[in-house]
């Protein structure tokens, strides 16, 4: 990236970093490391590359809902905004653990039990867990290599009936076949807001499907679908 700007001035390190971030952030699903290798070579400047990677990789991982295996092999954690405690620590609600993430290597480096304040109350966890069990069955049947999670998004400290609360349901599935020149992913997020007074659940969903075919060409599919629905609860009880 040593080209000169339109005015004949060499690109500054800041401009190079911005361009590098754009290329990394827009890498096809599952291909950011391939793009990173080329970007690093083109930059020829490790400091600029590392600054760009530090900015791009965390956002890419969250946008693509990248799943990573937990160090204790107890399951997979999804890199999602809903579980983000800080830049490198993410909550896995199913195992009630917090994983430390190396975004650039896309690995979990440490694992610890979640603190009480990082988890929902026992009352909310009963709802979250029941929803997670049914979601896991659905994903196992419908998505090869699919990973899912249910996060509490509001009302996590509620101790009993009488107040509103909400969940986010996240599904991430991918098909990687670079030897056949194709990769693809399915990502969906469903928010569920429970209104106690009206006994009503408002549901909104966003589905993202990406596919990349690159044998003797470069064909990409990027589809976004928004959905919404609602339902009446027969009482906020798991009985």
* Domain extents in the chain: 13-63, 67-113, 120-232
Class of the CATH-defined domain 13-63 = alpha beta
CA gap 50, 125 in Å, rounded? 40
Q: What is the pLDDT of residue 215?
A: 85
CA gap 24, 236 in Å, rounded? 45
Q: Is the dihedral of CA 115, 117, 121, 126 positive or negative?
A: negative
Q: What is the pLDDT of residue 180?
A: 87
- Beta strands across the sheet bearing 182-195: 147-154, 165-177, 182-195, 200-213, 219-232
CA gap 122, 142 in Å, rounded? 30
**Residue 214: pLDDT above 60?**
yes
C-alpha of 192 from chain center: 17
Going by pLDDT thresholds of 50, 70 and 90, the confidence category of residue 235 is low
Instruction: Report the b/e string of 158-174 with b at 16+ CB within 10 A.
Output: beeeebebbbbbbbbbb
Structure tokens, 143: 């998505």
Residues of the chain above pLDDT 70, percent = 94
CA gap 223, 135 in Å, rounded? 23
More confident residue, 147 or 177: 147
More confident residue, 9 or 59: 59
More confident residue, 5 or 232: 232
CA gap 96, 121 in Å, rounded? 12
Q: What is the pLDDT of residue 6?
A: 52
Q: What is the pTM assigned to this prediction?
A: 0.89
**Residue 41: pLDDT above 90?**
yes
CB of 99 closer than 8 Å to CB of 67: no
Q: Is the dihedral of CA 51, 53, 54, 60 positive or negative?
A: positive
CB of 92 closer than 8 Å to CB of 75: yes
Q: What is the pLDDT of residue 238?
A: 43
**Residue 5: pLDDT above 50?**
no
Candidates 3.30.450.40, 3.40.1350.10, 3.30.9.10, 3.90.1150.210; correct CATH number of 120-232? 3.90.1150.210
CA gap 27, 104 in Å, rounded? 14
**Residue 4: pLDDT above 60?**
no
Q: What pairs with residue 99 in β-bridges?
A: 90, 111
Structure tokens, 222: 């990027």
Q: Note whether 67-113 and 120-232 share their fold.
A: no
- Fold classification of 67-113 (topology level): Ribosomal protein S3 C-terminal domain (3.30.1140)
Q: What pairs with residue 26 in β-bridges?
A: none
Q: Is the dihedral of CA 40, 45, 46, 48 positive or negative?
A: negative
Plot region of 187 (φ>0 → left; ψ -120 to 50 → alpha; else → beta): beta
CA gap 104, 84 in Å, rounded? 16
Q: What is the mean pLDDT of residues 174-185?
A: 89
């Amino acid at each position: 990236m040593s080209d000169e700007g339109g005015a004949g001035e060499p690109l500054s390190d800041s401009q190079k970093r911005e361009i590098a971030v754009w290329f990394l952030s827009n890498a096809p699903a599952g291909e950011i490391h391939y793009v990173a290798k080329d970007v690093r070579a083109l930059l020829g400047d490790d400091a600029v590359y590392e600054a760009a990677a530090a900015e791009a990789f965390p956002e890419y991982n969250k946008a693509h809902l990248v799943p990573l295996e937990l160090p204790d092999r107890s399951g997979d954690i999804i890199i999602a905004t809903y579980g983000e405690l800080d830049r490198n620590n993410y909550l896995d609600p199913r195992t009630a653990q917090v994983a430390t993430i190396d975004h650039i290597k896309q690995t979990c480096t440490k694992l610890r039990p979640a603190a009480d304040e990082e988890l929902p109350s026992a009352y909310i966890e009963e709802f979250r867990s029941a929803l997670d069990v049914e979601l896991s069955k659905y994903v196992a049947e419908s998505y090869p290599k699919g990973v899912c999670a249910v996060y509490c998004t509001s009302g996590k400290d509620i101790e009993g009936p009488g107040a509103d609360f909400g969940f986010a349901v996240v599904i991430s599935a991918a098909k990687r076949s670079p030897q056949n020149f194709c990769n693809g992913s399915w990502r969906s997020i469903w928010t569920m807001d429970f209104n106690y007074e009206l006994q009503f659940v408002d549901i909104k969903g966003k589905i993202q499907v990406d596919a990349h075919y690159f044998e003797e060409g470069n064909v990409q599919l990027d589809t976004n679908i928004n959905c919404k629905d609602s339902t009446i609860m027969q009482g906020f009880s798991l009985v």
